[in-house]
A and B are shown apart, each in its own frame.
Chain A
Amino acid sequence: MTPRKSVLVLGGSSDIGRTAARAFAKAGYDVALAGRDVAALKPDAADMRARYNVDVGVFKFDVLDTASFEGFAGGLPALPDVVISIVGLLGAQERAQSDLAHATTIMRSNYEGPSLILGLFAEKFLGRGNGTLVGVSSVAGDRGRASNYVYGSAKAGFSAFLSGLRARASRSGVHVVTVKPGFVRTKMTEGMKLIGPLTVEADVVGDAILKAVEKKTDVVYVSGKWRLVMLIIKTLPEAVFKKLRF
């Protein structure tokens, strides 16, 4: 019997993290859930064990504590087949405009931490000759908008990092997936005004990530409509775009 495949989910207690982990568990993967609050991960671990009869472990991971990354990666019982980074912080744009500490936290949570940890696993995967890295970035990174450019610029950096890593790994057995979910109904977006037809439930993102890993897709817009929306937003001339306040 071949050993089961395994997935590491960074940001496992987020809504998207939970549904992604469930989708992989359902497909027969063993799961490692990592997040800041290990106690909060345990009920989800029990859930996946009971549902799908797979092994699920929980691990402490803090995306801002970059010094701990080497130890974290080395402390896993085995190098996983798939690593998914779902960590991120929306933050508050207005506050970030004058509160440098808040802006720094947004930038580090969405760019620095996710890039460094996936970069670290990339080296291990390249050494082994296989593996899939998934970064959940954002459509907000496609073009900086007035209403969320601190978050958007960090996601843009993360998208660029993933794109470069994918190109570098393209001749190896390692694959890199960039996921741009668009509006998702989650804790993070609770209370935000989301546009109905452009909004998906978190479990749709989880399924899309599994599909992208299995099909080795490069860049996934979870809802195809977003690809079109962002194409339009990206093509607008700057002279027009800068007048928009959205």
Chain B
Amino acid sequence: MTLVSGWGRFPVVDSDVLRPRSFDAVGEAVAAASGSVARGNGRAYGDAGIGARRTIAMTGFDRVRSFDPATGYIRLEAGMLLSDLIDTFGPRGFLPFVVPGTRFVSVGGAIAADVHGKNHHCEGGFGRYVGSILLRTGQGETIEASRAENADAFFATIGGMGLTGVILEATIRLRPVETGWIRERVISAVDLDAAMRALDAGDSATYSVAWIDCAAAGGNLGRSLIYLGEHAGADEVAGGAERFPVGKDPGLAMPIDLPSMTLNRYSIRAFNELYYRMGARRAGGSHVVSLFPYFFPLDSIGGWNRIYGKRGFLQHQCVIPEQSARDVLGEILARVSKRGDASFLAVLKKLGYGDGILSFPLPGYTLALDFPLRGDILNFLDEIDRLVVAAGGRLYLAKDARQSRATFEAGYPALQRFNAIRKSLDPAGNIRSKLSQRLFDEV
């Protein structure tokens, strides 16, 4: 047994980690032990990528099968990272349609979590650009699933957290781009109302996201910087610059766990104040930035999760339906601001419909907050969850390590349909993760 955890480093649990070398070996690994799940690059925050008994490491499967530049369709093995995809096909004029906040996730993981990016409000999630999936089910079948063939398995696998089987390969559509640069416009918003108005006004922008200063209180509650973005054309790239910038490996790495007291209400407030002022100075005009800092600001700090110390941290990401969003988000931010230990990663963004049966997004606003794991944080988040559930919202499974079954079941009304499909693909229940044990499986 090996101790395994997700990106948040909580929980840390025992699971056998296997590194199969062939698809046949993946099948054997699934069949041989009831209770396994595939793991990509381990960037799910909680327990989604950890097998109940056995964890199947997939990053060795990183081959491209075929690529058609005429259509942008690519067939690849599911362990390939988006960073690899971007580095390899970016210079040829193709990018994934959807990228999450880190490029160090696998394609299989991106499908299983139906990850969303800064363009979800207008272009949908990662699953929308998946043409088909080669899936190894829990009962040992290898099936090709698409919108036309095995459609139930297809829509259950998108956002299905790996619980329909092991995603072996996928065909996805890439976006043709002229350059690897983004034309960015920064807007500063003095409070939550202004931030939400700015996001609404940014609906026509391809990319939009708000960073919230969650240390701000009172009249400043919810003050934000809104980042709008569009792909820059070849004529917008500064003379002498490469059409496609190079994505550097994390230069600055966090070599050690910081003492958990490093982040306290004073350091966080100071950081947020500084960040807001620096950003507000850039507000107004538009400028062209490399896609890497635009999409993946934290990727430049390797192992940034260690900032939170050895005990790890929790990310709480909820989505609140549009009609009640203003009041509920205001209440959550007020409580967080009062508490004082939410961190610099507070993000607000508009979402549209998800494509998978269990996809997280629904039309409304999503708020993501980080908390160091200490004190009464679990109780505090349970209280927040009550607000989310009452508003008809839900939590993102890829970030979750602690929500209750009641919260989960209230947030995902399509769960029964998902469970029925999962059962038909895996009657014996071979595919099980720590997350499924916590939230899905019959006890």
Contacts and interface: CB of A to CB of B under 8 A. Distances in A.
A53 B64 CA distance: 12
A141 B89 CA distance: 40
A43 interface: yes
A43 B63 contact: yes
A50 B19 contact: no
Contacts of A53: 92
A46 B63 contact: yes
Nearest to B64: A50
B19 A46 contact: no
Interface residue SS majority, chain B: mixed
Contacts of A52: 88
Interface string A60-104: 000000000000000000000000000000000000000000000
A51 B92 CA distance: 9
A190 B63 contact: no
B19 to A, nearest CB: 7
B66 A187 contact: no
B326 interface: no
Contacts of A51: 64, 67, 88-89
B171 to A, nearest CB: 12
B63 A47 contact: yes
B20 to A, nearest CB: 11
Interface string A27-50: 000000000000000011011001
B21 A47 contact: no
B65 A47 contact: yes
Interface in A103-136: none
Contact of A46 (B66, B89, B92): B66
Interface residues of A, number: 11
Contacts of B74: 50
B84 to A, nearest CB: 9
A50 B266 CA distance: 52
A31 B72 CA distance: 25
Contacts of B67: 50-51
Interface in B51-96: 63-67, 74, 88-89, 92
- Pick from A43, A50, A190 the residue with the most CB of B within 10 Å: A50
Contacts of A46: 63-66
A41 to B, nearest CB: 12
Contacts of A44: 63
Contacts of B92: 53
Majority-rule SS of A interface residues: helix
Contact of B66 (A26, A50, A190): A50
A50 B74 CA distance: 9
A44 B64 CA distance: 8
A83 to B, nearest CB: 24
In this complex, which of A44, A47, A53 has the most chain B Cβ atoms within 10 angstroms of its Cβ? A47
A50 B21 contact: no
Interface string A207-232: 00000000000000000000000000
Contacts of A190: 19
Contacts of A50: 64-67, 74
Nearest to B61: A43
B133 to A, nearest CB: 18
Contacts of B19: 190
Interface string B17-44: 0010100000000000000000000000
Interface string B266-286: 000000000000000000000
A190 B18 CA distance: 11
A187 B21 contact: yes
Nearest to B21: A187
B16 to A, nearest CB: 13
A47 B19 CA distance: 20
Contacts of A26: 88
A50 B21 CA distance: 21
A162 to B, nearest CB: 30
B246 to A, nearest CB: 13
Contacts of A43: 63, 65
Nearest to B89: A51
A50 B67 CA distance: 6
Contacts of B88: 26, 51-52
A49 to B, nearest CB: 9
A52 B63 CA distance: 12
Specify which of B19, B63, B65, B74 lies most central, judged by the most chain A CB atoms within 10 Å of its CB. Answer: B63
Interface string A146-187: 000000000000000000000000000000000000000001
B242 to A, nearest CB: 16
B81 to A, nearest CB: 12
A46 B74 CA distance: 12
Nearest to B68: A50
A16 to B, nearest CB: 14
B439 to A, nearest CB: 33
B397 to A, nearest CB: 30
A141 to B, nearest CB: 27
Contacts of A187: 21
Nearest to A15: B60
A26 B89 CA distance: 11
Nearest to A52: B88
Nearest to A44: B63
A187 B19 CA distance: 10
A44 to B, nearest CB: 7
Contacts of B65: 43, 46-47, 50
A53 B94 CA distance: 14
Interface string A1-34: 0000000000000000000000000100000000
Given A46-B66, A53-B92, 11 more contacts: A43-B63, A43-B65, A46-B63, A46-B64, A46-B65, A47-B65, A50-B65, A50-B67, A51-B64, A51-B88, A190-B19
Top 5 A-B pairs, shortest CB-CB distance: A47-B63, A50-B64, A50-B67, A47-B64, A51-B88
5 contacts: A26-B88, A47-B63, A50-B66, A50-B67, A190-B19
Interface of A: 26, 43-44, 46-47, 50-53, 187, 190
